[in-house]
Structure 1
Amino acid sequence: MNTELFDRLGMPARIKEIAEYDIYSTDLRARLDTLAECSARLVEAPVSLVSVVLDTSQFIIGSYGVSGWVAYAQGTPAEWAICTHTVLAGKPYCVVDVLEDPEHAENPLVRMTGMRSYLGVPLIGFGGQTLGAMCVIDARPRVFTDVDKAVLDDGAEQAMKLLEAHRV
């Protein structure tokens, strides 16, 4: 694990805020799955995620179209997760073609899943910490539109309302 990445993701205030949500609630997960499906359909993307990025891993708390080992594991290493870039930036993050992007072309997750394009927006918690991302993923290179981003912004807002209802 990249030590700098671990340090940035593992800031105590950020991890403490994540811990204040019941991200294991089956009711919450079902609602986030529905939200992810809605976002995927509106953006016409085969995959959508709602994820929380911890210090060493991305934990998928809602999804649509996720399969294989990622679905079984319900996440990925943080250093492989493109959502990590959204979290660290604290703003929308887009990759038109991961295979043409030097930042992502050698990412093992890209090679294993067939992912080609990504658009994610941050999930901002009640304390101002960026907790994770709401994203869509496509298997083809793609230029996402302002409308696509607006759909994800709305989805992220709805996801945070659902998470707020599951604060412990």
Structure 2
Amino acid sequence: MSPPNDEFSRQRALDTYRIVDSLPEPAYDDIVQLASMICNVPVAMVSLIDRDRQWFKARLGTELRETAREVAFCDHAIRQPRLLMEVQDTADDPRFRENPLVTGETGVRFYAGMPLVTPGGEAIGTVCVLDQQPRELDEAQRASLAALARLTMNLLDGRHRERELERNALLATVAAAEVVPVDSPQAHTACSVVIFEVQDYAGAVHTRGERTLERALARLEQMIDAELGHARGDSVSRVSGGAEVIAVLHGDDCLPRIEAMRQAVAAFEQDSGLRVLCASADSDPAGESAPSVFLRADQALSRLKDQLADRAPSI
């Protein structure tokens, strides 16, 4: 695993992509199909290395949706972000010969993974291929796997930019919707941003169905909305296609409303069986913009996830 400081930056970079626990997308399915065909192997994956697990955005040749990070070959691959890691026979490699993915029913004997590297240089996952037989890639296959990793990263970056633009547009809209006139004695420039994120979104869709989960998320948004001070210009919105609800509150006395929203979310969790994490940030006295406050709330959400991962019992 990466050193603590590097790991914090790497995990924070992964968090900003909002890709872990997202729904399947055809473009990533095409990537693993091509990787399998080019490398002539039965198993291929787009793998993301999260705090304590390896999660597959796309997979071919396996029913696994994730594995523990401690047994993930890809966790070794991301330690050298610019290099393809190829293990021609896992049974001969001291790092992996006792790995349960090698010794168990999965029986992995060959692995090759090319890291997915962000523009900032953080390795957040891989495009990887596996086989139950030892083998060796040729130079053309290695080059193709590297090209597929670059293509995957371009897809991730494009998706990230689209969601960021949409979120900033939402935040700018609600910030501009202040209903109290600027010259009024009641005018206020302070704001708070609260992020509510449903955990294991893709897993919940898999077990409950997308329509059922969409209804649950709509109910969550309504419950949060009911606790807002709409006369102050408070608002709640959800970035399309995700499990994230964002509330923007105005004024210097947002804490009671935030606490009321947290209580509403606790009731929603009990009723729905879904887990919702919540993090918030307040604007600085100079009148910080809502998108800037959002970034600090999002950093707080990452820290909360780190804390929860540290407390989780070992498997």
TM-score of the aligned structures, taking structure 2 as reference length: 0.48
Write out per-residue CA displacement over residues 88-120 of structure 1, whole angstroms, 9 at most, x where no aligned residue: 122211111111211110001112211110111
User: 1:25: Cα distance to partner?
Assistant: 3.9
Rounded Cα–Cα distance in structure 1 between residues aligned with 2:5 and 2:48: 11
SS at match of 2:71: coil
The one-letter amino acid of 2:47's match is: S
**1:126, distance to aligned residue in structure 2 (A):** 2.2
The aligned counterpart of 1:143 is 136
Separation (CA, whole Å) in 2 of partners of 1:155 and 1:30:
15
* Residue in 2 that maps onto 1:94: 86
Question: What is the CA distance between 1:8 and its match in structure 2?
Answer: 4.9
Q: CA RMSD in A?
A: 1.8
User: Any conservation in 1 of the 2:29–2:59 contact (CA below 8 Å)?
Assistant: yes
Say whether the 8 Å CA contact 1:117–1:140 is kept in structure 2: yes
Distance in 1 (CA, whole Å) between partners of 2:123 and 2:5 is: 10
Sequence identity of aligned pairs in percent? Answer: 29
Match of 1:107 among 96, 99, 105: 99
Cα distance in 1, alignment partners of residues 53 and 5 from structure 2: 9
Matched, 1:131 2:124: yes
Q: Does the 8 A contact of 2:112 with 2:129 survive in 1?
A: yes
* Cα distance, 1:78–1:25 mapped onto 2, change above 3 Å: closer
1:79 paired to 2:75: no
Q: After superposition, what is the alpha-carbon deviation per residue over 1:115-148, rounded to whole angstroms, capped at 9, x for unaligned?
A: 1101111100122101111111011010111111
Could you list the structure 1 runs, at least 4 aligned residues long, displaced by more than 6 angstroms after superposition. none
Report if aligned partners of 2:47, 2:125 keep a CA contact under 8 Å in 1.
yes
Q: Which protein has greater RCO, CA pairs closer than 8 Å, 6+ apart?
A: 1
Aligned to 2:200: none
Unaligned 5+ segments in structure 1 are none
Equivalent residue for 1:49? Answer: 45
Q: Given the alignment of the two structures, is residue 32 of structure 1 paired with residue 28 of structure 2, yes or no?
A: yes
- The number of aligned residues is 158
Alpha carbons 1:10, 1:55 under 8 Å: kept: no
Q: Distance between the aligned counterparts of 1:156 and 1:57, measured in 2?
A: 20
- Structure 2: gaps (5+ residues): 164-315
The amino acid across from 2:108 in the alignment is M
State the structure with more CA Rg: 2
Alignment check: 8 A CA contact 2:91 2:109 kept: yes
Q: Shift in Å at residue 22 of structure 1?
A: 2.8
SS of the aligned residue for 1:66 comes to: coil
